[in-house]
Amino acid sequence: MAGQTVPVAEVPDPTFAQGILGEGIAIIPDDGKVYAPCNATVDTMFDTGHAISLVAENGAEILIHVGLETVGLGGKCFKVHVKNGQKVKKGQLMFEADLEGIKAAGLNTITPVLVCNVDDFASLNGHTGNAVTNDDVVIELSK
């Protein structure tokens, strides 16, 4: 997802900001296209299309959650291109969000990108404060 990276602690939702679901970064998106950040398997593509969980080849459990409270849109503003159990390649388009539609509903489009099983890794380095494209590495993990 292209946009500006910020520390996840800046997400105005304590579930994300306090690391309850995992550690990572957040993206203030420039567009709503969500691409696979790495080769992975889709664990859960949420029915409402607002979030996806992936299991990367290195075992990382990744959650990408577009916007805050967007589950309440009931699928409106989202177009899904993948399904549960599907293998995805780095850079593959997984789903799209209508950012203007989300904003029109009065919701924040900030997008947390988290590693939920961070304790399985020795370190997590999130790259924040940068304008990023879909090709940029935003999180690095080491075992």
Instruction: Check pLDDT > 90 for residue 4.
Output: yes
Instruction: Note if the pTM is more than 0.85.
Output: yes
Rounded mean pLDDT of 63-80? 97
Per-residue model confidence as pLDDT tens digits over 7-33: 999 999 999 999 999 999 999 999 999
- 142 lies in some domain: no
141 domain-assigned: no
For the stretch 94-123, what's the b/e string if a residue is b when 16 or more beta carbons lie within 10 angstroms of its beta carbon? bbbbbbeebeeeebebbbbbbbbebeebee
Residue 36 in domain: yes
Number of domains the chain is built from: 1
Q: What is the pLDDT of residue 60?
A: 98
Query: Is 74 within a domain?
Result: yes
Q: Report CA 123 to chain centroid distance, whole Å.
A: 19
Range of the domain at 38: 3-136
Assess if residue 23 is contained within a domain.
Answer: yes
pLDDT of residue 143: 86
Catalytic site residue from 50, 65, 81, 127: 65
Give the single-character DSSP code of 104.
H
Residue 133 phi, psi dihedral angles, 5° rounding: -115, 180
Any catalytic annotation for residue 50? Answer: no
pLDDT in tens, 80-139: 999 999 999 999 999 999 999 999 999 999 999 999 999 999 999 999 999 999 889 999
Q: Return the pLDDT at 18.
A: 95
Query: What span, in angstroms and rounded, lies between the C-alpha atoms of 136 and 2?
Result: 9
